[in-house]
Amino acid sequence: MTSKEFHPDWTEKSPAEGTYRSIFKYGDPQHFKHPSDAWYRMMKQDFHLSDADFADKGKEGREPVKLNRPAALKPNQIDALQAIVGKENIELDDYHRVKYASGKTTEEMLELREGIIREVADVVVHPRDKHDVQKLVEYCDKELIPMTVFSAGSSVNFGCRPAKGGVSVVVSTHMNKLLEVNELNQTARVQPGMFGPAYEDALNRAPEVFKTKHRYTCGHFPQSFEYSTVGGWVVTLGSGQASTYYGDAYDIVFSQEYVTPAGIFKTLDYPATATGPKINDIMKGSEGTFGILVEVTMKIFRYMPENRARFSFMYPTWEAAVNASREIMQSEFGKPAIYRISDPEETDRGLKLYGMPGIVDKFLSMKGFKPMQRCLSLGNAEGDKDYTCLVVRKIKAIARKHGAISLGSYASRKWEHTRYTEPYMREDLGDFGIMIDTLETAVTWDNLHRLHEGVRAYVKSRPDTMCMTHASHFYPQGTNLYFIFIAHMDDPDEYRKFQSGIIDHIQKYGGSLSHHHGVGRMIGPWMEKHLGKEQMAVLRALKRHFDPRNIMNPGGQLGLD
Amino acid sequence: MTSKEFHPDWTEKSPAEGTYRSIFKYGDPQHFKHPSDAWYRMMKQDFHLSDADFADKGKEGREPVKLNRPAALKPNQIDALQAIVGKENIELDDYHRVKYASGKTTEEMLELREGIIREVADVVVHPRDKHDVQKLVEYCDKELIPMTVFSAGSSVNFGCRPAKGGVSVVVSTHMNKLLEVNELNQTARVQPGMFGPAYEDALNRAPEVFKTKHRYTCGHFPQSFEYSTVGGWVVTLGSGQASTYYGDAYDIVFSQEYVTPAGIFKTLDYPATATGPKINDIMKGSEGTFGILVEVTMKIFRYMPENRARFSFMYPTWEAAVNASREIMQSEFGKPAIYRISDPEETDRGLKLYGMPGIVDKFLSMKGFKPMQRCLSLGNAEGDKDYTCLVVRKIKAIARKHGAISLGSYASRKWEHTRYTEPYMREDLGDFGIMIDTLETAVTWDNLHRLHEGVRAYVKSRPDTMCMTHASHFYPQGTNLYFIFIAHMDDPDEYRKFQSGIIDHIQKYGGSLSHHHGVGRMIGPWMEKHLGKEQMAVLRALKRHFDPRNIMNPGGQLGLD
């Protein structure tokens, strides 16, 4: 590779304010992460493209957003909303109506590049506190104005799309404070719109900020950590990368307060109860359809990064990696925090893309760890120092028993550098008509291989389509499978059909419809068949109870209507 | 103490079949456990009684049960029920109608001794399988016949009392099999009426019975283990003595199947999902009010009793014991399985009752561990051998830091001998007009002392009343408090008033209404105030959905009606 070689003109130009691109670009407008040379070579090879195909960018979406759709609300209604939140907390312009209607699905990116705008709200409101929210819900319920909640906007399933217009309620603008750290109970009371990094930073610095004895961590680090909020984690049932130890968002919630059309819903602070079905848990995952989360008390954990112990292994086969992982999760010696295994395609592409010294590759091949068979595993343990040592020692012993070779902490450290930044590449790829997207599912151990093979076969049945899979959230009973697919494809209709086929195959092969992305409107149509008619009827009964006039996030969310 | 001293004539006479006593006696009809001499001395002293007071027994309830209440169901209805389950699975006689209407509350014992019978069902049915249950529910829903489920009958809150008559559905007679052990997923599919010991034994012997590689344990060992069933654990949200490690029944359920008037409700086998509010969790704790649990898949755990590591400590004070326990639960080195701390009164009475060599007592006092200040802690760790060693080592270090002295494994082993048998003493005490009962609550760390003091003060405000408290289920956010009270009291009305006052004070001082006994009809009246109006409305909405004609366990259960 010499400097003479062609390099695509990956953009370094921040999207101008008010443009389509400023809406669909991931993360920090000033931050870019370009495909490496290895990535570029891989794409050219796999998609049979040449440098010429990367000479000109397609539609970049750099035009100003134009909606040309007058708000359907009446002036007196807009006045009333304004009276509640204040004039400075209302937006009626095209750009903000589209911005706060958008998430980060591939479909939205493809369409926004072409200037296609789907449903938006009539007006955007930024409540200042839970009292504002209460007044808004009361008013909208009375006036039958639909409300859709927007927090960080990193939804990948149209969870913040105002399918029926009405009001976009943005909770992250003002309702983003850490209200209290209760050190005795090891809990933190927080507003829903607080972003991950601000929350984690405040907990890490709790001795300075809240005069606590210990430092704390939230324990929840999804890939979207930097562009997701505590409330979003809770209402969509997210999982962090360290969920194998800390639990999913579901497990980390202690108590909650929601404003619903049926009243204020506040649950109690108890470590456990036997007082009937747990109403605290009923609210989690309601995705804005029952009401608006206005405050949540989360469990927090001692922050001891100095004890973190990393590991990585190469397994000879996927079967060996899965078997070892199951043994690790069922052996009762504690749990790692981050724990991942990559299937052969992900392992091989990863090695090519993220680099492995040639001599290591030769050594591995010589030892029988063959390309398109071998599987990478990596992770860490967190907690007390002796505990993390024990967990890693045990994992090493099990890995060895299953034929793995230790790569030390190398791959784990390498992975950490990119743990939050991969989504940034999406725009660069999109500029040249290449899409990268993901779907994910939960599965029991006894169905893992069937599901993996079935979904993978469908994705690979499309010519020139990459499919990389890993499992990254583990339980004694099973894990998740996370499918990443990359293709030369920029037609939204073609994409919709392709994606829909993958969901069909996840369902066909017995995976759950989502392990941690949530349902939104994208997965909604599959819900009833997946859960069963009687089960779906329960969700609808709850919906009718909380929101009898169907104003909360109506129009397909969770497949409710 | 010489053999000349008086010993009460503790009964060794098994209750005759068909008698009141055969209904209220705990456990095995042939098994007795009498108060020790130390117990006897303590009661005489504390209640100012003399040997003369133990010369004659009060009402023993040895008369045959007589109901004199004809069944309110019509003959054709009874015929229809009989046609569903078979003639041999129907009972209409007085004794069985009362037996299957009774639990193990103190109030029931006091009343049955006097021949007082409260609500009973008109007919008792023993369904053979889930298809029978389905037909029964369909028929009863059509005919508006109330159904109340009975499994082991160890309810301590009138959970199986057929408050509106109708049918007692006994699920433990036939529906008591372990259907499947799935070793890959580490789950067991079981019928609701299987008793703890049979279930645990089958799991321990899984290699022989199910050809598994490993032995398994259910991880759930309530005091009522021998007289409770898997289904009962789930629908009442029980906790086992080792819940600090294995989790509460709530955590151990993987998936469930219920027959409800609204149809068959079956949840899916996934280790986690993000597909909206978790309907699997909504059903747990429904106490028979939504439908009848007919099958449940439980998580199971590797059984490695050889690695069990025990510990016990004496702390100088209750504060020290609580602080150390909190530190243990929050330090992120893993969790003990059994973990208990006893307050000063329980510690001192325990030492007197269960014996401690005089020299140890002297030594402890000399070292500053003073009576009515010092607190006993005991427990064990389970799992991998290195893990249990680590956990116990860490607990020891924290205990020492908080001024405790190690008692080795002595107290822990001693406790294990009586872990399931304490309830047997109840009948002996009752024969001489002494009641022993318990109430329990969950609490966060920051409210523990206030609640403990508040409830204790109320109990102790009654003259000559013992009140022993321990905490026995721990979480990073708090624990439970388990109050044991013993008094010279045999009037049901006086008892009701006394007990009601304790519940009032648990509520007043901010405890949950139950940590693991459930609600039943006893706690029902406190529910709405406890949970809040809006929260209770959600439970009622679910009830209306599943059971619109209110036939499932109607009449106050969970405070629903």
Domains, chain A, in order of start with CATH, read: 178-302 (3.30.465.10), 305-417 (3.30.70.3450)
Per the CB < 8 Å rule, is A275 touching B513? yes
Q: Residue B16 has what DSSP assignment?
A: P
**Burial classification of residue A544, based on how many CB atoms lie within 10 Å of its CB (0-12 exposed, 13-18 middle, 19 or more buried):** middle
Q: Please answer whether residues A158 and A119 qualify as being in contact, where contact means their C-beta atoms are separated by less than 8 angstroms.
A: no
pLDDT of residue A357: 67
Closest-CA residue in chain A for B512? A273
Asked if A251 contacts A258 with a C-beta cutoff of 8 angstroms, the reply is: no
CA angle A92, A97, A100 (to 5 degrees): 130
Nearest CA distance, A236 vs chain B (angstrom):
7
> What tens digit of pLDDT does each residue of B224-244 get?
999 999 999 999 999 999 999
| Chain B nearest C-alpha distance from A527 (Å) | 8
Q: How far is B353 from chain A (nearest CA, A)?
A: 31
Q: How many CB pairs under 8 A join A and B?
A: 292
Residue identified by tokens 């259960």 is: B557
- Chain A residues inside the 8 Å CB shell of B535: 265-267, 279
Nearest CA in chain B to A522: B275
The packing angle between helices B533-546 and A533-546, to 10°, is 140
Q: What CA–CA distance (Å, rounded) separates A522 from A544?
A: 22
Contact B384 A519 (CB under 8 A): no
Q: Enumerate residue ranges in chain B where pLDDT < 70.
A: 1-3, 356-357
Picking from B193, B144, B191, B195, the residue whose alpha carbon sits closest to that of residue B167 is B144
Cα-Cα-Cα-Cα dihedral of B47, B48, B54, B56, to 10°? -100
Q: Is A270 in contact with B479 (Cβ distance < 8 A)? A: no
Contact A184 B264 (CB under 8 A): no
pLDDT tens digits for range B152-203: 999 999 999 999 999 999 999 999 999 999 999 999 999 999 999 999 999 9
**Which chain B residue lies closest to A528 (C-alpha atoms)?**
B275
> What's the gap in Å between the CA of A238 and the closest CA on chain B?
7
Residue among B439, B533, B416, B523 nearest B486 (CA): B439
Residue B208, H or E segment: helix B206-210
Alpha-carbon gap: A94 to the closest alpha carbon of chain B (Å) = 31
On chain A, the residues whose CB falls within 8 A of the CB of B512 are 268, 270, 272-275
**Chain B contacts of A262, Cβ < 8 Å?**
534, 537
Beta bridge partners of A255: A297
**pLDDT number for residue B357:** 67
Q: Is A441 helix (H, G, I), strand (E, B) or coil?
A: strand
Cβ-defined contact of A446 to B185 (cutoff 8 Å)? yes
Q: What is the token pair recorded at A432?
A: 């040249």
How far apart CA A440 and CA A557 sit, in angstroms, is: 18
Residue B269: closest CA among chain A residues belongs to which residue?
A: A444
- Alpha-carbon gap: B373 to the closest alpha carbon of chain A (Å): 23
Nearest to B271 among A262, A331, A444 (CB): A444
- What is the model's pLDDT at position B1? 44
Q: Which one of A303, A477, A539 makes the best mutation probe of the B interface by having the most chain B beta carbons within 10 Å? A: A477
Best interface-test mutation with A: which of B513, B538, B561 has the largest number of A CBs within 10 A?
Answer: B538
- Residue B3: the pLDDT is 52
Cβ of A276 within 8 Å of Cβ of B270? The answer is: no
Q: Give the gap in angstroms from C-alpha A471 to the nearest C-alpha of chain B.
A: 13
Length reported for chain B: 561
Say what the pLDDT of residue A361 is: 80
CB contact under 8 A, A542 and B541: yes
Taking CA atoms, A91 is separated from A80, A164, A523, B136, in Å, by 14, 18, 30, 58
Nearest to A225 by CA among A404, A416, A34, A65: A416
Measure the CA–CA gap between B90 and B121, rounded to whole angstroms: 12
C-beta atoms of A382 and B239 within 8 A: no
CA distance B18 to A39: 81
What Å distances lie between residue B230 and B14, B176, B303, CA to CA? 27, 9, 18
**B384 vs A332: CB contact, 8 Å cut-off?**
yes
**B443 contacts A270? CB cut-off 8 A:** yes
Q: Which of B535, B536, B540, B545 to mutate to test the interface with A (most CBs of A within 10 A)?
A: B535
**Which pair of tokens denotes residue A219?**
């324990």
Smallest CA–CA distance, residue A52 to chain B, in Å, is: 43
Q: What is the dihedral of CA A281, A284, A288, A293, to 10 degrees?
A: 80
Do A326 and B184 count as a contact with CB atoms less than 8 A apart? yes
- In chain B, the residue whose alpha carbon lies closest to the alpha carbon of A297 is B477
CA distances for A81 relative to A123, A152, A293, B327, B535, angstroms: 9, 22, 19, 49, 28
Tokens representing A136?
Answer: 């808004």
Report the number of secondary-structure helices (H) and strands (E) in chain A.
22, 19
Residue of A nearest to B382 (CA): A332
Measure CB to CB from residue B444 to each of A260, A263, A269 and give the nearest one. A269
Residues of chain A with pLDDT under 70: 1-3, 357
Beta-carbon separation of B276 and A262 below 8 A: no
Residue of chain B minimizing CA distance to A445: B185
What are the structure tokens assigned to A231, written together?
A: 């409330």
Residue in A closest to B537 by C-alpha: A545
Contact B444 A535 (CB under 8 A): no
Q: Is the separation of the CB atoms in A122 and A166 below 8 Å?
A: yes
For residue A388, give the chain B residue with the closest CA. B333
* Other Cβ atoms within 10 Å of B386 Cβ, number: 14
Least Cα separation, residue A162 to chain B (angstroms)? 18
**Nearest residue on chain B to A523, judged by CA atoms?**
B275
B557 to chain A nearest CA, in Å?
10
Are A515 and B480 an interchain contact pair (Cβ–Cβ within 8 Å)? no
Does the distance separating the beta carbons of A184 and B445 come in below 8 Å? Answer: yes
Q: Are A561 and A550 in contact (CB under 8 A)?
A: yes
B333 contacts on A by Cβ (under 8 Å) = 383-384, 386-387
Is B520 in contact with B265 (CB distance < 8 Å)? no
Chain A residues within an 8 Å CB radius of B444: 184-185, 187, 269-271
ipTM, interface predicted TM-score of the complex = 0.97
Using CA atoms, how far residue B388 sits from B221, B300, B408, in Å, is 19, 18, 15
**Helix/strand/coil for A211:** coil
The answer to whether A233 and A243 have CB atoms below 8 angstroms apart is no
User: Is the separation of the CB atoms in B339 and B22 below 8 Å?
Assistant: no
B277 vs A272, A275, A284: nearest CB: A284
What DSSP character marks residue B525?
Answer: G
Contacts of B298 in chain A (CB under 8 A): none
The closest CB to that of A331, out of B277, B384, B533, belongs to: B384
Contacts of A363 (CB under 8 A, 6+ apart): none
Q: Do B542 and A538 touch (CB under 8 A)?
A: yes
Q: Using CB atoms, which residue from B270, B283, B477 is nearest to A185?
A: B477
